[in-house]
Structure 1
Amino acid sequence: MSRGGRWRVLLLGGCLSLAAAAAAAQPGGAATALRETLDRHLQAIQARDLDALLATVTRGDALTLILPDGRVLDTREEYRRLHQDWFAEDDWRMRFEVRQVREFGETGIALVHYLSQQRQADGSYATGREALLSLLFAREQGDWRLVYDQNTVVPPQRPQ
């Protein structure tokens, strides 16, 4: 192959890779379904909607949840009970910022920054915890489902 032919092949390959990446990021692309599931998951938390939340998690028994204090829950049922109790409380809200969503074949991962806020006596909200969520999703019968949830506390910034 001539030098010019090799460059055309490399250029075409690069353009096809960019086009595939752009298609995945566009509505209807591969990443859209994962992002939609993530959005439904986070909205269910904000709405304290247990049924909507459970519709985004694995149907299997194994579901790992690592809490901000380091405790580990290992089953879907433990996950359900924890959220049922938490959702019964009405003095909190969550503020989410999705930082990253990536797919790796049949798995996908999301990095989400959040502020956990408590309602004060005057009705305002104060941030009680800042943390990062690492949420691992896997495809189950064509749907994205949460299978692993790790909360990592972001330590408060110290004055310099």
Structure 2
Amino acid sequence: MRKLAGLAALVLIAGCSAEAPAPECDFDCTFERHMAAIQQGDFPAFEATITERPDFQLIYPGGERVEGLEAYMADMREFLALDFDFQYEIVEKQVTAEMGFALLDVTFAVEGQDTPSRFYLLLVFALQDGEWRLVHDQNTRQPPAENGDEGEAG
């Protein structure tokens, strides 16, 4: 009986100290899926990369703040339904065990628009319930390029 109790204790200790399994899709994988969904206007694929928690923040280029997951998803459903071209360059990317972000230099043009807009896009992802999910989306308008030259971002 003592041996059985000792074995049970070892199993419990081992179970408590075991690390959570690695996510099926790591930060880079989730980031790539998220960006592909945007470029393809694929709302279901986009939705799969977003947190399921209600406390989401979106900040538009003009500073307007949208609070809540439901409002964010409604805006994004409408956005992804547009006919647009969305190109980006990664400015910086950092990842820790539980959070990561990507800062992007984005050129965005809607079909029929004369001049594309440029903005910085900051996407913050968190590891939630074993999956990387977008938790914050912030956009900052870039000033127009001088002399019609796109030049360097920043």
- TM-score, normalized by length of structure 1? 0.71
* Structure 2 residue corresponding to 1:71, chosen from 64, 70, 75: 64
- Higher share of residues assigned helix: 1
| Secondary structure, counterpart of 2:144 in structure 1 | coil
How far apart are the structure 1 equivalents of 2:80 and 2:123? 19
How far apart are the structure 2 equivalents of 1:116 and 1:106? 30
Equivalent residue pairs, number: 124
2:91 is matched with which residue? Answer: 99
1:155 is matched with which residue? Answer: 143
- Higher share of residues assigned strand: 1
| Secondary structure, counterpart of 2:126 in structure 1 | strand
Task: Please state if 1:131 is matched with 2:131.
Answer: no
Deviation above 6 Å: which 4+ runs of structure 1? none
Instruction: Answer with 98-107 or 55-64: which moved more.
Output: 98-107
Structure 1's unaligned 5+ residue stretches are 1-29
Higher relative contact order (CA 8 A, sep 6+): 2
Task: Please state if 1:33 is matched with 2:23.
Answer: no
Task: Please state if 1:49 is matched with 2:42.
Answer: yes
Superposed CA offset, 1:12-52 (max 9, x none)? xxxxxxxxxxxxxxxxxx9x821111111111111111111
Structure 1 position 154, deviation (Å): 1.0
* Structure 2 residue corresponding to 1:82, chosen from 59, 70, 75: 75
Superposed CA offset, 1:93-117 (max 9, x none)? 1111122221133111111111011
* Structure 2 residue corresponding to 1:142, chosen from 127, 130, 136: 130
How far apart are the structure 2 equivalents of 1:127 and 1:135? 24
- TM-score, normalized by length of structure 2? 0.74
Structure 2's unaligned 5+ residue stretches are 1-22, 148-154
How far apart are the structure 2 equivalents of 1:154 and 1:77? 28
| Secondary structure, counterpart of 2:26 in structure 1 | helix
